[in-house]
Amino acid sequence: MTVLPVTIWGEPVLHRRASEVEVFDDELRTLIADMFETNDAANGVGLAAPQVGVGKRIFVFKYANEDDAPDEGVLVNPVLTLSKIPGALPDPEEDVEGCLSFPGEHYPLQRAEWARVQGFDGHGNPVDFVATGWFARVMQHEFDHLDGKLYVNRLVDRYAKKAMKQAKKNGWGVPGLTWMPGVDPDPFGH
């Protein structure tokens, strides 16, 4: 298994819809294993293939939950069915997200409290479970990556402006920027 570099906001693969996986083979399972290794090295709760430069509809997760779902898994070609997203402003203490591709930053975002997650594992076997609370947030966050969205694209105006100001300050928004989990300092201080 190999730790892969994580792409940073501005890399084109992060900003376009990923393509469906059509072949479930050893190459796919190697990518999945590398994604798990990268997610672990980055102390992440999830990692989508576009975050490692691969425009495929795959994400891995590692999040202890009480939803009768695995604490660690992979979703290939996932589909999410969501409860309604509350219309209230996000709580700046309770609803804060971060992203390995927008490293070191945190902003509040309102998400659905419930998600039905369907897709396939790395062998093409069906996966179907319900996620609630923060686990549902993780599923939505990773799924968004597959549609070319980062959580900062969903922020309300005042937080979106702060995020874009920080991105400019960090020199992001251009292709070719990455960071290497386990080599570069952990941007989230784990």
What confidence category does residue 1 fall into, taking pLDDT thresholds of 50, 70 and 90?
Answer: confident
pLDDT recorded at residue 169: 97
3-class SS string, the chain: CCCCCEECCCCHHHHCCCECCCCCCHHHHHHHHHHHHHHHHCCCCEEEHHHHCCCECEEEEECCCCCCCCCEEEEEEEEEEECCCCCCCCCCCCCEEEECCEEEEEEECCCCCEEEEEEECCCCCEEEEEEEHHHHHHHHHHHHHHCCCCHHHHCCHHHHHHHHHHHHHHCCCCCCCEECCCCCCCCCCC
Token readout for 177 is: 């920027």
pLDDT recorded at residue 87: 86
Nearest to 77 by CA among 130, 23, 36: 23
- Cα separations (Å) of 89 from 86, 94, 143, 157? 8, 11, 22, 11
99 annotated to bind ligand? yes
**Does residue 142 have an active-site annotation?**
yes
For residues 51-76, give the mean pLDDT: 97
Residue 83 has pLDDT above 90, yes or no: yes
**Which residue of the set 11, 37, 97, 142 is catalytic?**
142
Share of the chain above pLDDT 70, in %: 100
What confidence category does residue 39 fall into, taking pLDDT thresholds of 50, 70 and 90?
Answer: very high
Residue 190 has pLDDT above 90, yes or no: no
Q: Which residues, listed in sequence order, are joined to residue 73 by a DSSP beta bridge?
A: 61
pLDDT recorded at residue 42: 98
Residue with token string 């920080």:
166
Question: How does the average pLDDT of the chain come out, rounded?
Answer: 97
For residues 164-173, give the mean pLDDT: 97
Complete domains list, the chain, with CATH: 6-179 (3.90.45.10)
Q: Which residues, listed in sequence order, are joined to residue 107 by a DSSP beta bridge?
A: 97
pLDDT tens-digit profile of 9-37?
A: 999 999 999 999 999 999 999 999 999 99
What confidence category does residue 62 fall into, taking pLDDT thresholds of 50, 70 and 90?
Answer: very high
pLDDT tens-digit profile of 96-138?
A: 999 999 999 999 999 999 999 999 999 999 999 999 999 999 9
